[in-house]
Amino acid sequence: MKAATAIGIGAGVFALLFASMMEGTQPMAFFNISALIIVLGGTASATLSSVGMDTMKRIPALYKLAFGPPELDLRGRVDLIVSLAEQARREGLLALDAQLSEIDDDFTRKGLQLVVDGTDPELVREILEAEIDGMTTRHAAGATAFEKAGGFAPTMGIIGTVMGLVHVLQNLSSPSSLGPAISTAFIATLLGVGAANVIFLPVGARLRALSSAEAELRILTLEGILAVQAGDNPRVVGDKLRSFVAPAERETEDSPTDGGRAASPAADALAAEAA
Amino acid sequence: MKAATAIGIGAGVFALLFASMMEGTQPMAFFNISALIIVLGGTASATLSSVGMDTMKRIPALYKLAFGPPELDLRGRVDLIVSLAEQARREGLLALDAQLSEIDDDFTRKGLQLVVDGTDPELVREILEAEIDGMTTRHAAGATAFEKAGGFAPTMGIIGTVMGLVHVLQNLSSPSSLGPAISTAFIATLLGVGAANVIFLPVGARLRALSSAEAELRILTLEGILAVQAGDNPRVVGDKLRSFVAPAERETEDSPTDGGRAASPAADALAAEAA
Amino acid sequence: MKAATAIGIGAGVFALLFASMMEGTQPMAFFNISALIIVLGGTASATLSSVGMDTMKRIPALYKLAFGPPELDLRGRVDLIVSLAEQARREGLLALDAQLSEIDDDFTRKGLQLVVDGTDPELVREILEAEIDGMTTRHAAGATAFEKAGGFAPTMGIIGTVMGLVHVLQNLSSPSSLGPAISTAFIATLLGVGAANVIFLPVGARLRALSSAEAELRILTLEGILAVQAGDNPRVVGDKLRSFVAPAERETEDSPTDGGRAASPAADALAAEAA
Amino acid sequence: MKAATAIGIGAGVFALLFASMMEGTQPMAFFNISALIIVLGGTASATLSSVGMDTMKRIPALYKLAFGPPELDLRGRVDLIVSLAEQARREGLLALDAQLSEIDDDFTRKGLQLVVDGTDPELVREILEAEIDGMTTRHAAGATAFEKAGGFAPTMGIIGTVMGLVHVLQNLSSPSSLGPAISTAFIATLLGVGAANVIFLPVGARLRALSSAEAELRILTLEGILAVQAGDNPRVVGDKLRSFVAPAERETEDSPTDGGRAASPAADALAAEAA
Amino acid sequence: MKAATAIGIGAGVFALLFASMMEGTQPMAFFNISALIIVLGGTASATLSSVGMDTMKRIPALYKLAFGPPELDLRGRVDLIVSLAEQARREGLLALDAQLSEIDDDFTRKGLQLVVDGTDPELVREILEAEIDGMTTRHAAGATAFEKAGGFAPTMGIIGTVMGLVHVLQNLSSPSSLGPAISTAFIATLLGVGAANVIFLPVGARLRALSSAEAELRILTLEGILAVQAGDNPRVVGDKLRSFVAPAERETEDSPTDGGRAASPAADALAAEAA
């Protein structure tokens, strides 16, 4: 399910508010303006200082990406490359030129263009690896912004709480208001720890996982394109690329080496785990 | 013993409840509905946001795996590969085809199938290494889910406790109920820290250890299959593969190079330690 | 925007002071002399002990660098190297000698000087890689100083607070002054945690990010200079170097392999994310 | 001194108990049954869940190892290998067969046996490196068990303390017993933090250091055995292997390249430091 | 300045005591015997258990090293090696034998001795790299001891404080002495956190930085000696080794490739940063 992160954040906020309502607290009690300024303003400022404006500007796009990540179809990519390998074997590498415009994925198309242009295989590998490294670095910068925010938010919350306590302790003349005042001071901690654990850290972890998955798809693609260029046997290309795909996502009918597995209970347990 | 994790979790829960009963607390006092919603709901939500739905769906299977891991028989795998090496030397690689259906382990069978198919050794290594890498990545995603949950649970517990304290402090009018109310607020911390340390973190660590052990078995298998394909001397194959096995699990009668060790007290101390 | 770190620190300090004023605290209440001595003096002393005087002396220059980092123009560097590659192809490597005085960047000029001098390519790579390693090490020492300060400041704040509490508790004779005295003790924690999270840790993170970006620019330059020396086709040099540049910063008209991408919605989503 | 860890633990326990007696506390006050059940039972359960039964069973042997580690004689190993190199040069590799039974160390004997058997040098390296890797992995599992216990013990102590506070706060009817009851609740924290820092973490660190030292001795041995097999000049073998030994442990009379060092004060400072 | 660590520790202790005197606390109040026994005795015991007696014995020498580190003259080392390269080119490698006794540095002398003895270049590299690895390992053991102490000291402080609170709470009969008693309990935390942050952690960080710097000097030396042995052009040797030296420490007149840099303001900003 693609919307896991949005669902998780919504469910987390709901669980916390629902439980606090069960105890009798009004949810609005947590919307304290000065606490929000300290936690959100302080976290945004510290994150901006840490990662610079370029990465900050990407944050809305990164939220969108985390909430609705593109589908990564490893199985489909393997099939595509195997079919390209068959065509290249039959009609030569230049025949792939006609397919280029039908390929959606930038990376695959760039790689095949290099192959069609007759680029040296070693250079194709270098160019595509530099693309993957660059993508990983850009993705890591985005995930880091959320991880930094997840580190700053709780400390900003603690700063807000200590500020509130300092204020309360300097004005002990009215003991009757002591309880509510301390209570308000703690709201900054609540908001800081909550924002970090319900939003920032999960989004950061999700972006990092999406980046790994996309890098793996690109590595599979890179290996496939180089095999196409080398003129490898399409069946061997398929065998090799399918090693990148989780066993449960492979179609057994295409995979003769996996033929006998249904007979093996131990293997089933493992496959279930891997699924 | 395979059920170590289940036993450990049961013993941990029992130790904590038993000790609290010794002090006079009713175990039921810890089952506070709103605290459970905050800790379990919040942790599940944040973990879902972090790792996505695919990994969340695997969590029941991962518990099952941690509680009843498959037996990994390094010694038996070495014996199997040595016997295959002997047969391949006598009758040729194609003779292994008949053995394939008798081999339980997917990975071993896939490797041997590649060898029987006459795949290039370098390609066999690449395919099998990609399998191992893929398995390690999938396993790491599962272990990470538990480690993330182990990180979120205590902070969710603290959120629950601070929420409770905020509520208590806003209603100081009834000082007589102050104690029990604060007490209830702390139950969220108890549940969060307890769930993380008794369940989530141990299961995560266990899954990571099981993954390492399985990866090592597969590396042993990979080296063995390549040695079989290269037609190495079965005795040398055995010597090499036995290096992967802990000394205490090797059978000395098969291992001429370990012949004199019983005579050496220093070696015994070490072997005892390694066992 | 270059001034992101200065803006972030200013905004962070403003947010915290503004929120505390909303609650009714005088900002001057936070400027406690003994707390400042403990937090700033203690942090500076511990950082000096940790990193030595040479790195301490560079701290003002490092602040200046973090507040106004030099523009790193990857696209311009690629264009420069491609034009050098064209000239070298037409007129030979020695013709580059005339361009040397017009190149602003030390590193590029040193690399080209080595090429013009006829240095062996392997040695050019070794010398330039040693330059990059050296730069990275020096930069890391600077960033580490801020990270260490960010680690020491909160503990110095805690030391100040505990010192204050020790003093308060030894003089319980005047209960009426208890509140303000405890309040003052907490100011050290506020200053320590605030200085770490608003200034030291963000500046350290920023310096580390700037260092990575500069190292990447230099690696691009190194690969480009070696390609110029090898006499590679300028179009291929451009293709290779552009792989280091984020897709959104590349000019599509120069990049035939990216020609069809505007037609692909999926690719657009990714490019937007990468921008 | 071999017993450093046992002495350190004894001295640590003594220092803590002695200081608390100086303050007037009876040491027996810390032996609280329910706190012990929570801390020791909880830590043992969580560690068992994490590392499995096989590693748990080795824990007594690992304590014994940490308290009385075997002497690792690098200098003696170098001398042994140099004398073997001399004999092999004079009488051939087969002459080493007679020495095998006199060699105490399993690893050295296994390596020499392989050499005497005429195993290919590359294979000797692979087998011995697999032995070293296997040993390091097994040792790491042991050290990890103690490090995990050192992580679980303080949180189990906190669980015990919060459990105690929950109990106290639910029974505020008897304010006179409040102090002692809270006091008892804190004993769980004391035991947890104390056990982790006085026993578990130091033993874990010690085991890791012993493992590194033994791995280094084995790498020295591996390099030496391969040099013996290659028929290297015994003087050169000695020079090379002595590089693994700390300067202060080398005997200068055997080491002509270190001849003039006593004349150099700067060198002395360094050697003293290294000693 | 060499004495940075000693100055930093002195200034840190002074800042903390001065600030506490400003608040009216007698510095002697912090010298609590039982707190000192717990913090220093406990930390020393746990560190001894962790690192063993050999490393503990080196601690006074390591303090001396951190307080007065040897001057590392990279520029002078480059000049020395360039002059040796010139001599070796004119008069042959054997002519270096006469210079050996004049070289202060053990490592340089050992390397040149190997070259003069006609050792194979690959073996020279192996021997010198083993020396560097060994030095790094020994240095790391020393730095680790201080880092471990920096980790144990605050927890020992917390143990001392909790012990004190346990004692106070068990004897609530005299409420008037409650404040001073709790105050005394906190002194253990103060001493533990203070010792860790003012002394142990800074000294550990300093030792690690000194070790890195010395390792870099030795790598420069190793590369230089191998270039001398290979008979490289002295000018090229100088160019290569100067890449290891920070730009600001190089003398521009000796470095033709840096000729035009004073004309470049951008380069100046960078050089200032690097200085």
pLDDT digits (tens, 9 = 90+) for D161-187: 999 999 888 877 766 778 888 888 999
Please check the confidence at residue A131 and state whether its pLDDT lies above 70: yes
pTM for the model stands at 0.87
pLDDT band at C3 (very low <50, low <70, confident <90, very high): confident
Band (pLDDT 50/70/90 cuts) for residue E171 is: confident
- Separation of alpha carbons C257 and C43, rounded Å: 53
pLDDT band at D251 (very low <50, low <70, confident <90, very high): low
| Residue of B16, B246, B266 with shortest CB distance to D159 | B16
Burial class (CB within 10 angstroms; exposed 0-12, middle 13-18, buried 19+) of A26: exposed
E267–chain C Cβ distance below 8 A for any pair: yes
So what's the pLDDT on residue A196? 97
How many other C-beta atoms can be found within 10 angstroms of the C-beta atom of residue B275?
14
Choose, out of A36, A48, A49, the residue to mutate when testing the contact with C (most C CBs < 10 Å): A49
* pLDDT, tens only, B203-255: 999 999 999 999 999 999 999 999 999 988 898 899 889 988 888 777 644 44
- Min Cα–Cα distance to chain D from E234, Å: 25
B253 touches B266 (CB < 8 A): no
pLDDT value at residue E175? 66
For an interface test with D, give the residue of E32, E37, E45 to mutate (most D CBs within 10 A). Answer: E45
pLDDT in tens, C29-65: 888 999 999 999 999 999 999 999 989 999 999 999 9
pLDDT reported for residue C209: 93
* Residue spans of beta strands (DSSP E) within D79-171: none
Mean pLDDT of A50-79: 91
pLDDT at res. C29: 84
A17-31, A223-237, B50-64, E124-138: which range is least confident on average? A17-31
How close does chain E come to C203, measured CA to CA in Å? 15
DSSP symbol at B40: I
Q: Using CA of residue C232, residue C238, residue C242, residue C243, what is the dihedral sign?
A: negative
pLDDT band at D38 (very low <50, low <70, confident <90, very high): very high
**Mean pLDDT for the stretch of residues E39-68:** 94
| Percent of chain E clearing pLDDT 70 (strictly above) | 90
E strand residue ranges, chain D: none
Query: Which residue's entry shows tokens 């509680």?
Result: B67
CA dihedral sign, ordered C248, C254, C258, C260: positive
Question: Are C42 and E15 a contacting pair at CB < 8 A?
Answer: yes
Q: Is the CB of residue E166 less than 8 Å from the CB of residue E172? A: no
- Structure confidence at residue B175 as a pLDDT band (50, 70, 90): low
What would the mean pLDDT of A205-226 be, rounded to a whole number? 94
> What's residue D271's pLDDT?
38
3-class SS of residue E165: helix
Specify whether the CB–CB gap between D61 and D52 falls below 8 A: no
Which of E54, E163, E206, E207 should be substituted to probe chain D, the one whose Cβ sees the most D Cβ atoms within 10 Å? Answer: E163
Alpha carbon E4 to its chain centroid, in Å, reads 11
Q: What is the mean pLDDT of residues E182-201?
A: 95
Question: Any CB–CB contact under 8 A between D186 and chain E?
Answer: yes
CA–CA gap between residue E151 and residue E192 (Å, rounded): 10
pLDDT confidence band for D273 (50 / 70 / 90) = very low
Query: Is pLDDT of C122 > 70?
Result: yes
Give the Cα separation of C20 and C22 in Å (integer).
5
E181 touches chain D (CB under 8 A): no
Per-residue pLDDT tens over the stretch B87-122:
999 998 988 998 888 898 989 999 999 999 988 999
Give the Cα separation of E268 and E264 in Å (integer): 6
- Please report, rounded to a whole number, the percentage of residues in chain D having pLDDT higher than 70: 90
For chain E, the chains sharing at least 3 beta-carbon pairs closer than 8 angstroms are C, D
Query: Do the Cβ atoms of A131 and C186 come within 8 Å?
Result: no
Instruction: Give A164-202 pLDDT, tens digit per residue.
Output: 999 888 877 766 778 888 888 999 999 999 999 999 999
Q: pLDDT for B41-61, tens place per residue? A: 999 999 999 999 989 999 999
A19-38 mean pLDDT = 89
Of B108, B103, B78, B230, residue with least CA distance to D130: B78
Average pLDDT over residues B60-89: 92
Mean pLDDT in residue range C144-158 = 97
CA separation for the pair A161, E112 (Å, rounded): 64
Instruction: Find chain B residues with C-beta within 8 A of D104's C-beta.
Output: 264, 266-267
Q: Calculate what percentage of chain E has a pLDDT beyond 90.
A: 62
Contact C12 A42 (CB under 8 A): yes
**In chain B, what residues touch A257 (CB-CB under 8 Å)?**
109-110, 113-114
Query: D164 to chain B: which residues are within 8 Å by CB?
Result: 23
Residues in A closer than 8 angstroms to C24, CB to CB, are: 167
Chain A residue nearest residue C209, CA to CA: A51
For E59, other C-beta atoms within 10 Å of its C-beta total 18
pLDDT at A254: 44
Q: Which residues contact B14 (CB under 8 A, 6 or more apart)?
A: none
Q: What pLDDT sits at residue C175?
A: 66
Touch between chain E and chain B: 3 or more Cβ pairs under 8 Å: no
Q: What is the mean pLDDT of chain B?
A: 86
Q: What is the mean pLDDT of residues A35-43?
A: 96
Of A1, A258, A272, the CB nearest to B106: A258
Please name the residue of chain C whose CA is at the shortest distance from the CA of residue A181: C23
DSSP 8-state assignment for residue D69: P
> Distance from B153 to chain A by nearest Cα, in Å?
10
**Given a cut of 70, is residue A216 above it in pLDDT?**
yes
CA distance readout (Å), A257 to B34, B217, E235: 52, 20, 61
Q: Residue E189 above 80 pLDDT?
A: yes
Q: Is E33 on the interface with D (CB under 8 A)?
A: yes
Q: Which residues of A touch C180 (CB under 8 A)?
A: 169-170, 172
Distance from CA of D114 to the nearest CA of E (A): 24
Interface predicted TM-score (ipTM): 0.85
- B-contacting residues in D 38-67 (Cβ below 8 Å): 38, 41-42, 44-53, 56, 58, 61-62, 64-65
Q: What are phi and psi of D8, to 5 degrees?
A: -60, -40
> What's the confidence (pLDDT) of residue B266?
38
Please state, in angstroms and rounded to a whole number, the distance separating the CA atoms of residues D106 and B270: 9
B29, B187 Cβ separation under 8 angstroms: yes
Smallest CA-to-CA distance from B272 within D107, D60, D109, D218 is with: D60
Question: Helix D201-229 and helix D121-170: axis angle, to 10°?
Answer: 180
A1 touches B at CB < 8 Å: yes
> Quick check: D55 pLDDT over 50?
yes
Q: Binning pLDDT at 50, 70 and 90, where does residue A256 land?
A: very low
Q: Integer distance in angstroms from the first to the last C-alpha of chain E?
A: 14
Task: Looking at mean pLDDT, say which of D23-37, E61-75, E138-152, E166-180 comes out highest.
Answer: E138-152
The better pLDDT of the pair B152, C231 is held by B152
Whole-number average pLDDT of chain C = 86
Q: What is the pLDDT of residue A1?
A: 53
So what's the pLDDT on residue E251?
A: 60
Residues of D in contact with E171 (CB under 8 A): 179
Interface membership of E121 toward D (CB under 8 Å): no
